[in-house]
Structure 1
Amino acid sequence: MITNDIKMRWTLIGALALSLVLSATGAVAQPDYEKLTFPPLNFTPPTVERHTLSNGMTLFFAPDHELPVISMYALVKTGSIYEPADKIGLASIVAEVMRTGGTKTYSPDEMNDMLEFIAASVEVDISEDSGSVELWTLKRNLEIALKVFADVLRHPVFIQDKIDLAKNQMLEDIRRRNDSPANIRGREFMRVVYGRDHPLARIPQIDTITTITRDDLVAFHQTYFHPNNIMLAVTGDFEPADMLKTLTDLFQSWPSADMKLPAVEPVNYEFSPGVYLVDKDVEQTNLGIGHLGIMANNPDYPAVRVLDLILGSGGFSSRLFQKVRTERGLAYSVGSYLGAGTRDYAPFLIYCGTRNDAVQETIQVILDTIKEMLASEVTDRELESAKNQYVNSYIFKFATVNDIIRRKMFYEYVGYPPDFLETFRDRVMNVTKADVLRAAQTYLHPDKMKILAVGSRRQIDSALATFGAVQPVELEPVE
């Protein structure tokens, strides 16, 4: 049994020890946090080894021996922008059924069971202007996983019941796409800026999905999936010489083809004001305000990135957030995206949701905030904060070797200089206040904004009319 006397002694010993620790800690002068210095961030991407097979397939290798896994990413020059106008949605269905519809070697169930058994994955995606087939596998299972990967890439069979399933899923998505006002705003803003029939703004309709046949999927695959139209990035636990031999043996017999991509209508780079309304009975109006942005190969791209952070994409510190939310309480969230397209001009969009009775005030505050960006230089604090925010987040865009090699491969895909990745950070840090002002005056057009509102016509029509004649936007039937 522990007596009270023993307890007292241990209490005194503990108090004495704590006193000694605190005394020792206090004896060492603590540095002022404002005087702390750190070395500059150093971004040194890994070396990427590049090879080209005789059939034109380009390979990018970046070994990473940290974990016994291997990742492959095939980038295909294709995209939904090449779909026929009466088959919108075809590219998405091709991507879905390439993976789910089986191959010449494996039925859908066999492929799923095999990949699950070896803990590997194969995924297919086709976006606006590129396609991809991706493999992730443990190193010890590379041989069998690679056979599945190559078979999906080269020999999909597009089983009819999987095509029907993919089409039905897309039809259900179409039926639900007007449920969310924010989704309507994003989709219809693209159509307002680019034109409803432009390849960058077209959306699937019920009739464009129902007319798609298996022959359409086969023809799409046969048109674009050729080795000389593919770049393949490989990262993970491998030796480059061994991987080169493996991929040469696997793909060398795949014949190249004469490639001629269909012509795509270029974006009409013009600016004209307009006010558009999607009538939807909601308590809050979703606003999209903007026009065309720039292309990413524009020499002013670094200045535009800094400009956008200061204007609206920088979160709580951005001017739009401060003006619209903090000072006026007009919206819970507000932001901007001054896009930079790799193939054509991307959109510049300011977005927010606001009360129906505050629509006019909110739009005016947004337009006034843009005009202020054109009137004078930003402050030193804004400039440094935006640049630091960009640099501090930059590293997270390249957190893994896999991220870096894919980005470098994509830059070659779109024709950027080989050192674009390595030099862009420094280009951002060299942006001046004069650069930001010049970019604002060049690429922002507050008097030529497209204003799109998704809200109740009965409650907001007169507010919108103060900015111009209101043009109704009719949504296509979804049944």
Structure 2
Amino acid sequence: MKKNLVCLALASALIVPAFHAQTTEPWTKIPTPPLHEFKPVQPKRIDLKNGVVIFLQEDHELPFIDGTINIRGGSREEPANKAGMLDMYGDVWRTSGTAAMDGDAMDDALEAKAAKIETSADIDSTALTWSSLKTDFDTVFPQTIDLLLHPSFKPEKLELAQQQMATGIARRNDDAGGILAREVGKVVYGAASPYARQPEFSTVLGVTADDLKQWHDKTVVGSNLLVSVIGDFDSATMEKKLRDTFEKLPKGEPFKSLKGDFPGPKPGVYFVNKDDVNQSNISIAGLGTMRNNPDLYALSVMNEIFSGGFGSRLTQSVRTKLGLAYAVGGGYGATYDHPGIFRVQAGTKSASTVAATKAMLEEINRLKSVPPTETELRNAREQLLNSFIFRYDSRAKVLSEQVMLAFYGYPADFLEKYKAGIEKVTAADVSRVAAKYIDTSKLAIVVVGNSGDLGSSLKDLGPVTDVDITIPPPPAGMGN
């Protein structure tokens, strides 16, 4: 036994120096291997003659089948004098149910099967979704189609939705962050823009059940529908079921995308006084771009360098170095079919409102005048590429993105080009797009805060416009 212990000790004595003799390289010197080619599992696309587009994505991990029917046309197309109609449409469609099964009975039937059927509305679309065990698909799917084709839009359910929206209108000035988001949209797009207008008591209470029915009849036609199904099914069998259902729909007139003018904001300072707060919410804002812009990749890298996390220029300066904001961020926004918003936002104590705003403006100007370092460029590209894969790490996410691309008319390989696009971005590209797209003379500053505690005058930032957020009361004889 002693002999064995002695041998073990001698062996250890010989091995340990060998380990100490090895040279350890810093981890920063270890080369990063290239990412594998991005090839997500694509859904099957089926185009019907009546314009309906179907996407099928098999996923046998769990015994569920989920589906969505996206319908073109949303709140941006609703009449201005009925603003809020689509929000209520999304609720009343489901709560009313159908002639065969009202909404309450549908709730009970679905709850018994742990299934769901939901409706919703967005700025450019409405949607009908369902989810069930695969064994219940042949029960839940027909109920979904009944709701699609035979909604009842009951007046009493509309009245309930109107009351709920009226409550929201009455309380919309409670939250400073909500006020800021709302007013930034108005300043950038214009108060009358369908991308910024807001429901009022008069517009909400003026909506009728007939309005909802007319909208439904106008939009639920073959040329407006994109149907996507994912789950534990056989594609050939599912395709037949969907064809048998949706080929019966009339083609109808496709809902044309809204075309609008986007002149951008009138420069200046827009101030909303909220005397029950001790801090300011600030946004520096202007027009952004669309996702089909060839410069999207360079703009994405620029955003990452500028405000992509704790190591970004904006955070390091305004928050870490100067201590002027506990939350700061933003970037050059891009949406699918209309310009997004370029915004830089911060929350700060009232007395440092002007100082924080000036610090943000300085960083915006630095983005244009100081090229990114090689370290900034490398870190930004790596962060974008490493996080990109997690946006599409499931078949459900890939399906959702493919539906979105088809909805807006983007090429199906749009995602596959992303990796190469980001990898090609150079420091010169970042400087070029910063100079091209960011013009501080075309930016507006929106502040929501307490006028009595601001310290320095907002006039130091430019001409000030006081924004009235008083909520108009319901017209006489309308509502309570």
Unaligned runs of 5+ in 2: 474-480
Matching residue within 116, 122, 138 for 2:117: 122
- Give the superposition deviation at 1:53: 2.3
- Give the superposition deviation at 1:415: 1.4
Matching residue within 285, 304, 307 for 1:290: 285
Aligned partners of 1:47 and 1:311: how far apart in 2? 33
Aligned match of 2:477: none
Aligned match of 1:434: 428
Q: Does 1:50 align with 2:50?
A: no
Aligned match of 1:106: 101
Judged with a 3 Å threshold, the aligned counterparts in structure 2 of structure 1 residues 23 and 298 are, in CA distance, closer, same or farther, namely: farther
- Give the superposition deviation at 1:468: 1.5
**Contact 2:42–2:399 (8 Å) recurs in 1:** no
Aligned partners of 2:453 and 2:376: how far apart in 1? 37
Aligned partners of 2:239 and 2:248: how far apart in 1? 14
Local SS of the residue matching 1:422: coil
**Contact 1:69–1:136 (8 Å) recurs in 2:** yes
**Contact 2:319–2:327 (8 Å) recurs in 1:** yes
Aligned match of 1:6: none
Q: Does 1:142 align with 2:112?
A: no
- Give the superposition deviation at 1:376: 2.7
**Contact 2:188–2:264 (8 Å) recurs in 1:** no
Aligned-residue Cα RMSD (Å) equals 2.5
The one-letter code sitting in structure 2 at the alignment partner of 1:73 is T
Local SS of the residue matching 2:45: strand
Taking only the aligned residue pairs, the percentage that are identical comes to 35
Q: Provide TM-score, normalisation by structure 2.
A: 0.91
How many residues are treated as equivalent by the alignment? 464
Aligned partners of 1:92 and 1:340: how far apart in 2? 24
Aligned match of 1:342: 336
- Give the superposition deviation at 1:98: 1.2
Aligned match of 1:207: 202
Aligned partners of 1:336 and 1:285: how far apart in 2? 16
Aligned partners of 1:343 and 1:337: how far apart in 2? 18
Aligned partners of 1:160 and 1:19: how far apart in 2? 88
Matching residue within 183, 186, 190 for 2:178: 183
* 1:1-150 equivalences in 2 (<5 Å): 33-34=27-28, 35=30, 38=33, 40-150=35-145
Matching residue within 221, 227, 239 for 2:234: 239
Matching residue within 418, 422, 441 for 1:424: 418
- Give the superposition deviation at 1:106: 1.3
Local SS of the residue matching 1:346: strand
- Give the superposition deviation at 1:127: 0.9
Matching residue within 289, 309, 315 for 1:315: 309
- Give the superposition deviation at 1:249: 1.7
- Give the superposition deviation at 1:345: 0.7
**Contact 1:199–1:264 (8 Å) recurs in 2:** no
Q: Does 1:389 align with 2:383?
A: yes
- Give the superposition deviation at 1:30: 10
CA displacement 1:177-233 (0-9 Å, x = unmatched):
111111100110110111100000011111111111101111111111112210111
- Give the superposition deviation at 1:39: 5.2
- Give the superposition deviation at 1:478: 6.1
Q: Which contiguous aligned blocks of 4+ residues in structure 1 show a shift greater than 6 angstroms?
A: 22-31
Q: Does 1:328 align with 2:322?
A: yes
- Give the superposition deviation at 1:24: 12
Aligned partners of 2:24 and 2:84: how far apart in 1? 61
Q: Provide TM-score, normalisation by structure 1.
A: 0.91
- Give the superposition deviation at 1:405: 1.2
Judged with a 3 Å threshold, the aligned counterparts in structure 2 of structure 1 residues 62 and 264 are, in CA distance, closer, same or farther, namely: closer
- Give the superposition deviation at 1:432: 0.8
Aligned partners of 1:461 and 1:341: how far apart in 2? 37
Q: Does 1:160 align with 2:155?
A: yes
Aligned partners of 1:350 and 1:155: how far apart in 2? 46
**Contact 1:63–1:237 (8 Å) recurs in 2:** yes
The one-letter code sitting in structure 1 at the alignment partner of 2:118 is E
**Contact 1:359–1:463 (8 Å) recurs in 2:** no
Unaligned runs of 5+ in 1: 1-14
The one-letter code sitting in structure 2 at the alignment partner of 1:210 is L
